[in-house]
C-alpha cells in the first residue's frame, strides 16, 4: 500500500537553493517512492533565539510505500549525506527535512510525530501544503 506523504525542506546555510535541489533529487530516488509535486520556494525568518540567516523553504509531496519510520530514517540519511550536522535545536543548517504528513495517519512516538507538531504554527507550511493540494487537484 502506498500513501501520499508531505515533506518540508529547509536551508539557511550556503547555497540554499542548491541544498533544496539536491534534497529533491535524493528524495526522488528513495525506494518505493515517487515525487508527485513540489511547492514554490519561499524565504522565511528563522525560529529560535540564535542569530542566523533566513531560510529557503519548500514542501514536496511523494507517493511512497515506505513505512513512516522508514521514510523518516531515509530523510535523516539524506540530511547526513548532504552535510547536515545536528548541533543546537533551532540552529542554522544546510538542510532540514521534516515529515509533515503521512497520509491521514496520526502517529505519536518518541522518534516521530505526524502530523508534525509545528504544522499549526508555521503559516508557510500551510501555504505550501495548500499549493501542493492545488497542484495535485485535491481539496485542502
pLDDT in tens, 97-127: 999 999 999 999 999 999 998 999 899 999 9
Coil, helix or strand at residue 98: strand
All structural domains of the chain: 3-135 (3.30.70.560)
Q: What is the rounded CA–CA span in Å between residue 37 and residue 35?
A: 6
**What Cα–Cα distance (Å) separates residue 85 from each residue in 30, 95, 96, 106?**
21, 9, 10, 28
Q: What is the rounded CA–CA span in Å between residue 98 and residue 29?
A: 17
pLDDT in tens, 8-18: 999 998 899 99
Number of other CB atoms surrounding residue 124 within 10 Å? 18
Tell me how far apart the terminal alpha carbons of the chain are, to the nearest angstrom: 22
Q: What is the pTM of this model?
A: 0.91
- The residues carrying an active-site annotation are 84, 93, 96, 98
Cis peptide before 9 (omega within 30 of 0): no
Amino acid at each position: 500500500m502506498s500513501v501520499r506523504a508531505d515533506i518540508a525542506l529547509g536551508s539557511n546555510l550556503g547555497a540554499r537553493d542548491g541544498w533544496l535541489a539536491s534534497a529533491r533529487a535524493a528524495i526522488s530516488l528513495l525506494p518505493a517512492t515517487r515525487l508527485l509535486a513540489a511547492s514554490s520556494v519561499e524565504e522565511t525568518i528563522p525560529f529560535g533565539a540564535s542569530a542566523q540567516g533566513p531560510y529557503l523553504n519548500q514542501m514536496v509531496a511523494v507517493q511512497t510505500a515506505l513505512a513512516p519510520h522508514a521514510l523518516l530514517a531515509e530523510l535523516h540519511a539524506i540530511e547526513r549525506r548532504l552535510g547536515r550536522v545536528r548541533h543546537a535545536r533551532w540552529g542554522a543548517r544546510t538542510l532540514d527535512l521534516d515529515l509533515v504528513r503521512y497520509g491521514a495517519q496520526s502517529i505519536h512516538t518518541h522518534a516521530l510525530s505526524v502530523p508534525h507538531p509545528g504544522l499549526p504554527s508555521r503559516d508557510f507550511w500551510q501555504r505550501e501544503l495548500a499549493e501542493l493540494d492545488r497542484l495535485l487537484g485535491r481539496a485542502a
